Chains A and B, each alone.
Chain A
Amino acid sequence: MKKLMSLLGTLALAFAFILPVSADGHENAMVRVLHASPDAPAVDVYVNGEVAVEGAEFKALTDYLTLPAGDYNVEIKPAGDTETVVVAADLSIEAGKFYTAAAIGQLANIEIAAMEDDANFEDGKSKVRVAHFAPDAPAVDVAPKGGDPLFSNLEFKAVSDYGTLDAGTYDLEVRPAGATDVVKALDGVALEGGKNYTAFAIGLLEGEPAFEVLLAADGGEMAEAPETGQGGLAQTASMNWLLAAAVLGAAAAGFYVFRRQKQDA
Chain B
Amino acid sequence: MLFLQYLTAGIVTGCFLILATIGFSLTRQVEGFLNIAHAELLGIGAFTTWWLNASQGWHILIAGPAAVIFTALVGLVIARTIYDPIRRRGPAVLLITSTGVAFVIGGVIDAMVGTGIRTLDIGLATTYKPFGIRVTDYQIIVVALAAAVSVSLALFLNRTRIGLAIRARAVNPELAASRGIDVRTTSRVTWLLSSGLAGVAGVMLAVIATLTTDLPFHQILQILAVAILAGLGSLYTVIASGLIIGIAMDVSVYWIPAGYRPLVAFSIVIIVLLFRSEGLAGTKAA
Decide whether A and B assemble into one complex. Answer: no
- B residues near A (Cβ < 8 Å) are none
